[in-house]
Amino acid sequence: MATTSLGGGGGGGGDSSVGVGPKIEWNEGKRRFETEDKKAYLEYSLRDDGKVMDLVHTYVPPSKRGLGLASHLCVAAFNHAKSHSLSVIPSCSYISVSLSLSLFSSFFSFRFPLSSFVSDF
């Protein structure tokens, strides 16, 4: 089972870990991206002769929720797809909704800054 590290280390305490995400590994044999402890993961399948990566499921155990792990897994998967010239299908509902919200947010923050909706009192 070969794995490839895709992220920075999150351990170590102190200020050196501020802004550094968890270590995410690509587990090619299991077709998933996973945290170093393998408890949180994003599963994918390959389609169209390996040219399309279908992101089908993310899982983060209850004890690790709220830490942004699912987001880090998504970033690793999208970076992997980009570096391997793969198209992506976001079948997983978390990924699909997150991607939609990200695009929606970036569109409106670009077109209509919040300050244009807020009046001075």
Enter the CATH code of domain 22-113. 3.40.630.30
Would you list the domain boundaries of the chain? 22-113
pLDDT at 72 exceeding the cut of 90:
yes
Q: For residue 87, how many other CB atoms are within 10 A of its CB? A: 11
- Check residue 109 and give its pLDDT: 61
pLDDT at 11 exceeding the cut of 80:
no
The answer to whether the predicted template modeling score (pTM) of the entire model surpasses 0.85 is no
Q: Which pair of tokens denotes residue 86?
A: 């793969």
**DSSP, residue by residue, 25-77:** EEETTTTEEEETTSSSEEEEEEETTTTEEEEEEEE--GGGTTSSHHHHHHHHH
Mean per-residue pLDDT, 99-116: 67
Q: For residue 99, how many other CB atoms are within 10 A of its CB? A: 16
Active site residue 92: yes
- Check residue 19 and give its pLDDT: 60
- Check residue 17 and give its pLDDT: 44
Q: Out of 69, 86, 92, 95, which one is annotated catalytic?
A: 92
